[in-house]
Amino acid sequence: MAGRRACIVGGGMCKWGVREASYIDMVQEAAKACLEDVPGLKPTNIDGLLFSSTFVGRRSVQANTAPVVAERLGLKPTSICARVDVLCAGGSTGILLAKGLVESGMADVVMVVGCEKLYTPERWQVQYDEIAAIDHDWDAPQGIGPPPLWFAMIAKEHMKHYGTKREQLGMVSVINYGYGYTNPKGHFQRKLTMEDVLNATEIAAPLGLYDCCPLTDGSAAVIIASEEKAKELSDRPLVYIRGGAQVSLHSVSANWPGEHLGDWPHLRLAAKKAYANAKISPKDVDVAQVHDCFSISEIVEVEELGFCKKGEGGLFVESGQTKLGGAIPTNTDGGLLSCGHPFGATGIRQAIEILKQLQGRATNQVNGAAIGITHNLSGSCVEHTIVIYGREPRK
């Protein structure tokens, strides 16, 4: 099987937001949209299923979910049927695993589907679940778990060491909501002004309401197949999964690997490994989907991914470099801030946007986009996962 190449063939998502729907309902909606995106694909063509979710068991009282999902989707996996749980990076991890399965010859066509049912009127339940996603013995008892508090500390450290301004955080939200305004399946379809952002309810200083991604229910699905199968299933331009990387250097906050919280060496290492694996450099990337769970995270990420110098992420965003026509249009479908963040589905939603960008069918199209990147962090920024896509295969 030497020389096999994995491609992303198509994808779809359900409407994201506050849903009166079960996780099975949303998975079925996303899978239907995915199959509609690949008219030549039938459920019988799919030999593998990877289901990405972290909280489905806590919210649905259903363990061993992958076979249940396969049954409800009419799939009969013969190569792989498994659940992937890496919190926010579950979807992109599933895509990397599917790539390996296809290129090894173990699978030909794999559906990667992710879903979370996160919103609940009982807000204590949300925080209780969030704390379960970090080191439960060490960090959780100290109250470090709720994400806004953690990323507020990151923002303060970045401001202290690099002079990042509150308005630069706000610009991330303004730009990404502007992109999301045209995304009918995202959580929000509204535009923001800087005044909206700066006058919003404070969540954890310096972060306000619009600096934080919402609690979102949602599902997304993609098809990963061998190059040969991809050509059979679709007449659209091929999009190859050129490479990727995943790095985790710590779990407990006391073992943070950087000099301070605004310094993310684990992301720098993941980027270095991913670029080497895909045989590209940062300057080759045309469009990016980064993990803007909070406005500050995008500012740090554009630095560590090599799109600008360390410490200049705020200026980079403020000067319009993440807009269409800028150096690296980023989160062109609205990102986590506007689309929402149902953990296991986010990396898959990002992949769908990059697929459309590279095939020239995105709503906010980047002219001539040939290489795209997705990035997810997990938990309290303890793990970084990158996937790189291209119109041409890795040479």
Write out the catalytic residue numbers.
88, 341
- Cα 347 to Cα 209: distance, rounded to the nearest angstrom: 23
Q: Taking each helix axis as running N to C, give the angle between helix 265-278 and helix 295-304, from 0 to 180 degrees, rounded to the nearest 10.
A: 50
How many other CB atoms sit within 10 Å of the CB of residue 126?
16
Q: Phi and psi for 386 in degrees, rounded to 5?
A: -125, 135
Helices (H), 105-165: 123-131, 147-162
Q: Please give the angle made by the CA atoms of 260, 265 and 268, to the nearest 5 degrees.
A: 140
- Category of 368 on φ-ψ map: left (φ > 0), alpha (ψ -120 to 50) or beta: left
Q: Taking each helix axis as running N to C, give the angle between helix 90-104 and helix 343-358, from 0 to 180 degrees, rounded to the nearest 10.
A: 60
Nearest by Cα to 14 from 183, 177, 129, 236: 183
3-state DSSP assignment of residue 140: helix
Q: Cβ distance 371 to 288 under 8 Å?
A: no
DSSP state of 66: H
DSSP state of 279: T
**C-alpha pair distances (Å), 94 with each of 102, 124, 129, 136:** 12, 30, 22, 25
DSSP state of 329: -
- Cα 13 to Cα 204: distance, rounded to the nearest angstrom: 31
3-state DSSP assignment of residue 119: coil
- Type and span of the H or E element at 286: none
3-state DSSP assignment of residue 75: coil
- Cα 207 to Cα 170: distance, rounded to the nearest angstrom: 9
